[in-house]
Amino acid sequence: MSDGPEIGVSAPCAAWETALPGAEDLGRRVAAAALAAGAVDGDLPVERLEVSLVLGDDALVRGLNRQYRGKDEATNVLSFAALDDEGEAIPDEGPILLGDVVIAMETTLAEAADSGRTVAAHFSHLVVHGVLHLLGFDHEDDAEAEEMESLERAVLAALGIGDPYA
């Protein structure tokens, strides 16, 4: 077993390599940082956590969004938590699969351009956001949103990335 979490990356959208060279490695580093920060107060041993990061396109994300959320549109990031049930027991040993984070390339690029941020900075924010959802963070009300956004800011700042909400 490794000293840190296992971050698997798949890129069914090969255009990511052109849009953001090194996206797979960046995604791994950012996801590991989000896991380390987000699991601090919980009972999840970071070194046993596993996350799958999928670098997709808008068509993939739109299909998933339609199938699982009933929304026939692309979005920037979707998270599919494997540990959705709060009462679910965590195994005493072995890997703990948290779930999948799927990022849509075209939406990510458009949002980065619209906000004046680099693709790497926006991509990093989406990875952090998606991983925090896997850890149980949400933004359904103002208090939850503030907690999640504060943690996003802290993780990104530690990575040298500016406040995405500024």
Q: Quote the tokens at residue 17.
A: 């390599």
Res 31: pLDDT: 97
Question: What backbone torsions phi and psi does residue 83 show, to the nearest 5 degrees?
Answer: -110, 60
Domain ranges, ordered by start, for the chain: 6-158
Return the closest-CA partner of residue 50 out of 13, 84, 85, 9.
Answer: 9
> Coil, strand or helix: which one is 85?
coil
User: Checking phi first, is residue 160 left (phi over 0); if not, alpha (psi -120 to 50) or beta?
Assistant: left
Q: What CATH code is assigned to 6-158?
A: 3.40.390.30
Quote the CA–CA distance of 109 and 143 in Å, as a whole number.
Answer: 29
Mean pLDDT (the chain) is 92
- Mean pLDDT confidence for 2-23: 93
Give the rounded percent of residues in the chain with a pLDDT score beyond 90.
79
Kindly report, residue by residue over 59-106, the tens digit of the pLDDT.
999 999 999 999 999 999 999 999 766 666 777 888 989 999 999 999
User: 0.85 exceeded by the pTM?
Assistant: yes
Contacts for 147 with CB less than 8 Å, ≥ 6 apart: 137
Identify the band that residue 1 occupies on the pLDDT scale cut at 50, 70 and 90. very low
- Nearest CA among 66, 49, 20, 61 for reference residue 132: 49
Instruction: Give the pLDDT score at 2.
Output: 57
pLDDT for 39 equals 82
Query: Residue 150 is encoded by which pair of tokens?
Result: 């504060």
Structural contact between residues 101 and 31, judged by C-beta atoms closer than 8 angstroms? yes
Tens of pLDDT along 13-39? 999 999 999 999 999 999 999 999 988
Q: What pLDDT score was predicted for residue 4?
A: 82
